[in-house]
Amino acid sequence: MRLIGVCRAKLPRQSSFLILLRLFTSLSGADPVHFLDVDHGDTVTDFLPLERERGITIQSAAITFNWPLAEDCPEGTHPKTINLIDTPGHQDFRFEVDRCLPVLDGAVCIIDSVKGVEAHTERVWSSAQQFKIPRIVYVNKLDRDGASFKRSVLDIASKLNCFPLVCQLPWWDNDSLIGVIDVIEKKAIRYNSADNYQVYQGETLSSVLQSNAALLQEISIARDRLIERLCEYDDELVEEFADKGNDLPAESIKKSIRRLILTGEGEVAPVFAGSSLRNMGVQPLLDAVVDYLPSPQDTADVEVLLSGEKHQLQDVLQRKIPGLKPKPSTAHKPPIEAVASVFKVVNDPSLRDATRGMMSFVRVYHGTLNRNSQVWNANLGCFEKSLRMVQISASKTADVPHLSRGQIGALIGLKDARTGDTLQILPSHSHRSPDQALRSMQIRPPDIPAAVAFLAIHPFSDTGRDHLQQCLEKASREDPSLRWNRDEKHDRFVLSGMGKLHLEIAIHRLKTQYKVDAAFGDIEVDYKECLTAPTGEHRYEYDRVVASKAGKAACVASLEPRDQHDEASILESSTERDGNLFHIKIILPDDGELPFDPELVRKQLFNGAYAAMARGPRRGSPMHSCCVSITFDPETDFFGPGTDGHIVNAAYNAVRTALSSAHSQSAVGVLEPVMKANISCPEEAAGTIQHDIASARGGQVLEVNDANVASADSIIDLNEVYAPPDPYESLQSLRDAKKGVTRMLDIVAKVPLKEMLDYDGLLRSKTGGRHSLTMSLDTFDRVTGPREKGL
């Protein structure tokens, strides 16, 4: 499974959606829709050589097209503009998915009909639920052996806790998929080939299905059950149903579905069927995107973070927030002309000739972002200016003069922008930086998960060292979940990431695209360090020349274990980063006047403290699960104007002093990442795998479930869910196994990552390759006893 973002609108409006699937289009002009195959390595969005070699998506890509085609639009209507953003599906690239979610307005969840709803699908669905993103569902791969539309529909109810609204039925000829049937319009589409299909409706449909009375009856049953379910949620449809009964027009049913899913609550989801490999059901899926998913005008206002508090963007722009009172001369003018969010940064050498530098993908939330406009980067606190503005179609680019509200495009040439940054265009009357209250306004800043694996890189020469550092800076700017630091003592660089595959891809890119000439070490588990007792207060006074300028600054730092800290009393005023809490306190003088910009000093203190936590005193691993408190008293710690470096270094050294003190008192422990593993395997291998996890791997088996039985946590009664029968039945219970059918079990366990780095190969030998393994970080646990001594 993987993600694709989509923008759709009635021209010129546009909006963004999220689609989870392995399917991708190449559209231009009036050419017919042509779907390329990920299995053959020729998808438009998977254009990197490694993506086509492995058949996976590694980095996000975007394409733009119109749907429906102009010649298919009814008179008086126009095509909608759709932008697809294809993102990875592997759990190691989860951050790539999560950073795209906030910029999207709707979602299509693509489910593998052979495997059903997988663990990764549940996690991404949960994230979409958090952002209240409207969703529709597409059951894919129905042409494969073992595919079950019925099981997939039941999985949606039991595992996603969402009531499925079956809008399409797969059209089977014995066990072969030949088309799809729209139950809302009572229309069938039969596919003769990928680009050749026939549509049957009304009398022609009855004639074609004359020999299949059961299917004709099932269409009526499906439509009645759909209307029945909609009436339970939609009072407006109930009134119309009272007048017309089950003969409701298709348009009324579609409007009801749209009303229900636009809330983003995920109570119901329309379900569609097909096979993207054979281009079956893809055109109706795109029609569903147009019919059901929202434009920017249909979605709620975006949430922004302003001075540590959350507000609606329009409230900020209309100065409804305390502290945003304008000067009388500018009261009638907006404080910001345009606002955009950077959700992806790309530096692909194969595109360098076309784009001349880094591409920063942006989503515009307010106003119009014009080409060559000077933008204020609210996260970095600086101005930037792009060289070009383009819309992307995989490796192709097209220059555009501007991006309006709801549109997605790329700015080329921004020197410092990173994923998660917020860009602002200031009004003409503003000659410098924005209002002090607005300069740090951010749109949904990204939550970067902790790294769990790392490797060492040893450059071969001084020139190679400088080149490697530049490449690592670019790679981490593209993907903030890649972290690196320089170990000058051992003359090496340490690269950290989200898992083994994540780092293998990073190594491949460094070698082939960045042409790094260095020795790469083995991938190892990224242990963390933690405090076992508070450190007390440590004051540090930094008095040195920085950037040829004398200056002086001081601050007080104290650290304590996070589990001993009352987070509820301080969390709102704290910043959480990499598992640590940072609380910056600036003491106000009696007169309430500060001789400096408090927000700027707060950011400098945070930067220093954050840098100090990157290496622990015991083994050089990052600190984790700590609460860092920095106190800055202007009366004792401020010595007049200096440079940013003086305050940063004061905070850095104060925290390092506190960590050294804790280490000298043996108050520093070691943490290891513990993964939540979901293993699907044949029943005959389940016992061996459970024993291996519990005895040899130091793990804990949490639960074992039949892959075909509903989850015990489901709040939906599956007896109330309509799921059409498959052409064959392959479901069985744990007590009633069918001869000749391999029953699959799902094992959920918590296991230290160290024991799971190469576990997929071991599972292959135990199951004969009939397994799937997905892992996600569950927690960091303290390493004790013999295992701690072994480190």
Least confident range from 183-187, 347-351, 400-404, 665-669: namely 347-351
Closest-CA residue to 713 (of 161, 248, 162, 203)? 161
CATH code linked to domain 530-650: 3.30.230.10
Q: How many residues does the chain have?
A: 791
> Does the pLDDT of residue 69 top 50, yes or no?
yes
Q: Are 275 and 281 in contact (CB under 8 A)?
A: yes
Q: What is the CATH number of domain 453-526?
A: 3.30.70.870
CATH number for the domain running over 303-443: 2.40.30.10
| Beta-strand relationship, 106-112 and 17-20 | parallel
**Among the ranges given (90-104, 114-128, 206-220, 311-325), the one the predictor scored with the smallest mean pLDDT:** 90-104
Residue 541: is its pLDDT beyond 90?
A: yes
Cα dihedral 300/305/307/312 (nearest 10):
0
Across the range 177-192, mean pLDDT stands at: 94
What is the pLDDT, as a whole number, of residue 90? 55
Residue 73 scores a pLDDT above 80: yes
Q: Does residue 659 have a pLDDT over 90? A: yes
- The model's pLDDT over 74-112, given as tens digits with 9 standing for 90+, comes to 888 888 877 666 655 555 566 667 777 777 888 888 899
Supply the mean pLDDT for the chain. Answer: 82
What are the start and end residues of each CATH 3.40.50.300 domain in the chain?
3-298
Q: Which fold has domain 3-298?
A: Rossmann fold (3.40.50)
Please classify residue 205 by burial: count the beta carbons closer than 10 Å to its beta carbon, then call 0-12 exposed, 13-18 middle and 19+ buried: middle
pLDDT of 660: 96
CA angle (15, 20, 25) in 5-degree steps: 70
What is the DSSP pairing of strand 524-525 with strand 453-459?
Answer: antiparallel
Token couple for 642: 């200096």
- CATH architecture, domain 670-711+740-790: 2-Layer Sandwich (3.30)
The kind and range of the H/E element at 289 are helix 282-292
| Reduced DSSP (H G I as helix, E B as strand, rest coil) percent helix, strand, coil of the chain, to 5 | 30, 30, 40
Residue 481: the pLDDT is 86
Q: Alpha-carbon distance 328 to 323, whole Å? A: 14
Taking the C-alpha atoms of residue 637 and residue 653, their distance in angstroms, rounded to an integer, is: 14
Angle at which helices 759-767 and 683-691 cross, to 10° = 140
Q: Which residues make up the CATH 2.40.30.10 domain(s) of the chain?
A: 303-443
394 — pLDDT class (breaks 50, 70, 90): low
CA-to-CA distance for 726 and 150, rounded, in angstroms?
6
pLDDT mean over 466-479: 90
Alpha-carbon distance of 383 to 423, in angstroms, equals 9
Note the pLDDT tens digit of each residue in 672-731.
999 999 898 989 999 999 999 999 898 999 999 887 665 555 678 888 999 999 886 644
Peptide bond before 296: cis, by omega within 30 degrees of 0?
no
Distance CA 759, CA 499 (A): 13
Cα distances (Å, whole numbers) of residue 248 to 269, 330, 772: 20, 55, 44
Q: How many helices (H) and strands (E) does the chain have?
A: 19, 44
Torsion sign, CA atoms 417, 420, 421, 422: positive
* Stretch(es) of the chain classified as CATH 3.30.230.10: 530-650
